[in-house]
Amino acid sequence: MRVYGIKIRIHPTFIGLLVLCVFSGLISRALTVFVLVILHELAHIAAARAYGVKVASIELYPYGGTAVLENTFEGKRKEEAAIAFAGPAFNLLLLFFIQTLRWQGLITGEWTLELVKINLWLAAFNLLPILPLDGGRLARAFLSGFFGFVKTTKFLAAAGKWAGGFFVIFG
């Protein structure tokens, strides 16, 4: 499927997760999370387009999504940092907007608190300084000036593999 020239890919395991969520009664929460993930990725796309970076696709996985950009960002630290921060920034802005409406009593209910929590977790998790997360891209943008792009990428990718293993074992 294509939306505004961007290919949207859905991994088969994502469909499996949705089926499990239907049977466990969590489909509304799962759909809420993945709508927010798609909006998060659209924020990356908007930032990428502002820098003239082409977007190949959005890919959805059971653990989240990714905007696939046609650029390695080697030597483009400012652009990489801005594009990487756009997703978590969207989630933080939405969190504060919803929370402000809650404080003022304009919106109420458990679902509003759930939206705040989901946005907090999406932003916080994505800011972990490991690749392929946004925090890893931010860390690479800042550290590659000191250690080089390739060396920094290898280190942050290895850290991401270790963190992924940790999350699988202890999750």
Active site residue ranges = 41
Question: What six digits make up the tokens of 111?
Answer: 């679902």
- Across the beta sheet with 55-61, the strand order is 2-3, 6-10, 55-61, 64-69
Q: What is the largest CA-CA distance in the chain?
A: 50
Q: How far is CA 73 from CA 6, 48, 128, in A?
A: 20, 11, 19
User: Which residue in this structure is represented by tokens 């820098």?
Assistant: 51
